[in-house]
Amino acid sequence: MLEKLLSEERIKIGMEARTKEEALKELVELLNLSDESKQIILDALKKREVIGSTGIGRGIAIPHTRSTIVNEVYLIIGVSRDGVDFQSIDNQPVHLFFLLVAPPNDPGTMYLIVLGKIAQIAKRIAKENIDYLSIKDKKELIQLILSLEA
């Protein structure tokens, strides 16, 4: 399922962000949308973070939102070697981001299914101590994620 959502254009290895807001902005920039649309999605993500951090711990965050701006599900992946203070539940910096944006009307509940799959992958990465920080190639990162989905 993730294979349809993963593309090199939506992956950023070597993120430069230092703050939560910078990280969200850097990831949203990878969406092929107008600047106005990107700003609306960024605002929605920031509102979601106010409710509670999507930094799930062990260096991973899954920021997500629904928006009428999009009509399909988008998955953006970012890797930060230095880490970002994302107010994660374990107070550790985030190095791996899975940004999910979906339309409010999602008949196949793809948003929830993808969110669940990402959570499972994140759990495996943490449990198996998988070294994603040494990956320099977007194709290699996609292959790792697809292998963990299986």
The predicted-structure confidence for 82-141, as pLDDT tens digits, reads as follows 999 999 999 999 999 999 999 998 777 889 999 999 999 999 998 999 999 999 999 999
Alpha carbon distance 7, 2 (integer Å): 10
Q: Would you tell me the crossing angle of helices 110-127 and 138-149 to the nearest 10 degrees?
A: 100
Instruction: Quote the number of domains for the chain.
Output: 1
> Rounded distance, CA 28 to CA 37, Å?
10
Whole-model pTM: value is 0.95
pLDDT of residue 16: 97
Concerning whether 95 is annotated as a catalytic residue, the answer is: no
Distance CA 11, CA 127 (A): 23
Indicate the helix (H) or strand (E) that contains 142.
Answer: helix 138-149
User: Are the C-beta atoms of 101 and 41 separated by less than 8 Å?
Assistant: yes
Provide the CATH number for the domain around residue 108: 3.40.930.10
Active-site entry in 64, 95, 117, 138: 64
At 7-56, the pLDDT tens digits run 999 999 999 999 999 999 999 999 999 999 999 999 999 999 999 999 99
Q: What is the pLDDT of residue 30?
A: 97
Domain extent at residue 44: 2-149
